[in-house]
Copies of this chain bind each other. A is one copy, B any other.
Amino acid sequence: MSDFPKSVSICEEGPREGFQSEPKMVPTADKIRLIEALAETGVQEINCVSFVNPKRVPQMADAEAVAAGIRKRPGVHYTGTILNAAGFERARKTPLDCLPLLFLSASETFGIRNSNKNRTEALAEQQELLSLYQAAGFTPRDGYVFTAFGCAYESDIAPSTAVHAVSELLELFKGLPVPRIVLCDTVGWAHPLSVERLVGSLRERWPELRLGLHLHDTRGLGIANAMAGLRLGVDHFDSSCGGLGGCPFAGNAAAAGNIATEELVQMCEEMGISTGIDLERLIECVALAEEIVGHSLPSKVAHAGSIAARRKRNAQIALSAD
């Protein structure tokens, strides 16, 4: 068990990937309210908005207004998703931390369906983006591999295919600081052994590479998949408070949220892996998020309460009985 990390970093995706999937428009002020509450939990990074075409993602049309409205807390990274040059130009003009990334889909079909580019074209686009970022004085920190475990069109993605995508991404980063590689289970295809197989293959080839997981809990295996990553030393996760973004009760069954941040935090902290996050405050954020979206979120620990809170209460009862 020596591969377990001592601590993990978490990027909170609720305000971006979570709200993005909500069918009902979320008011700008509510987005800011949740972001500010999340910043009080101790989370290191909050993905606040996505700088994408508002015609494609109307929920993110107020990205600039959200970015401008946040009262920032020192020590927290406030980021936004940037996927192309237009997004970068928009993001740069906001007070958010500009952390562009490079990305590639392990499944070529997914890339074609999603952005109408084959592998060669996708790589050329990333090369262009990198030049643009560098010319503006920015160095990408992360390389994201979409559909690393499976694809809605190609079905299973062999570990070798995903490893190849990682090698292509690393090639782009040549001469730059080695990026953190984030493996995305974009469509909820992974299971614990497929996570271990891919992470194991990457560890074998690049023993020092820092790896992260961006897991969707489409089919209920997300937390088990996170655990599989932890076993092999994965020390970064993207997750979403309350499991925001994946609520089948919101009339949006196709949406599948990230794993719930508080369930990840609960598991890590109970196992002695530090997250830096105050679980009780995070659970309060889930209640706020539910109030904002107007429906329950799938998180279980948020509704049952944390083990730590129960433990504390029991200790107090025992003390007062002495």
Interface string of A183-216 (1 = CB under 8 A from B): 0000011011110000000000000000000000
Q: Do A220 and B301 touch (CB < 8 A)? A: yes
9-residue interface stretch from A36-44, A76-84, A138-146, A308-316: A308-316
User: Provided the pairs A191-B267, A193-B271 are in contact, do residues A219 and B152 lie with their beta carbons within 8 angstroms?
Assistant: no
Q: Do B156 and A227 touch (CB < 8 A)? A: no
- In the complex, which residues 208-240 of chain A have their Cβ closer than 8 Å to any Cβ of chain B? 217-221, 223-224, 226-228
Whole-angstrom CA separation of A72 from B228 in the bound complex: 40
Interface string of A286-305 (1 = CB under 8 A from B): 00000000001011110110
Say yes or no: is A260 at the interface (Cβ < 8 Å to chain B). yes
Q: Do A219 and B315 touch (CB < 8 A)? A: no
Say yes or no: is A263 at the interface (Cβ < 8 Å to chain B). yes
Looking at the complex, which one of B228, B246, B315 makes contact with A300 (CB distance below 8 Å)?
B246
Looking at the complex, which one of B188, B249, B263 makes contact with A249 (CB distance below 8 Å)?
B249
Q: Do A218 and B300 touch (CB < 8 A)? A: yes
How many copies of this chain does one complex carry?
Answer: 2
Say yes or no: is A270 at the interface (Cβ < 8 Å to chain B). yes
Say yes or no: is A159 at the interface (Cβ < 8 Å to chain B). no
**Which residues from chain B contact A314 at a C-beta distance below 8 Å?**
152-155
Give the shortest distance, in Å, between A191 (CB) and chain B (any CB). Answer: 4
- In the complex, which residues 244-268 of chain A have their Cβ closer than 8 Å to any Cβ of chain B? 246, 248-249, 253, 256, 260, 263, 266-267
Say yes or no: is A9 at the interface (Cβ < 8 Å to chain B). no
Q: Do A155 and B271 touch (CB < 8 A)? A: no
Say yes or no: is A150 at the interface (Cβ < 8 Å to chain B). yes
Give the shortest distance, in Å, between A48 (CB) and chain B (any CB). Answer: 25
Q: Do A253 and B155 touch (CB < 8 A)? A: no
Q: Do A219 and B271 touch (CB < 8 A)? A: no
Say yes or no: is A306 at the interface (Cβ < 8 Å to chain B). yes
**Which residues from chain B contact A112 at a C-beta distance below 8 Å?**
none
Say yes or no: is A307 at the interface (Cβ < 8 Å to chain B). yes
The list of the 5 closest CB pairs from A to B, nearest first, reads A220-B263, A220-B300, A219-B301, A224-B224, A248-B303
Give 30 CB contacts A-B under 8 Å.
Answer: A1-B193, A152-B310, A152-B314, A153-B314, A154-B314, A155-B310, A155-B314, A156-B311, A188-B300, A188-B304, A188-B307, A191-B270, A192-B227, A193-B271, A217-B300, A218-B301, A219-B306, A219-B307, A220-B223, A220-B260, A220-B266, A220-B300, A221-B223, A221-B263, A224-B226, A224-B267, A248-B300, A249-B296, A253-B304, A298-B298
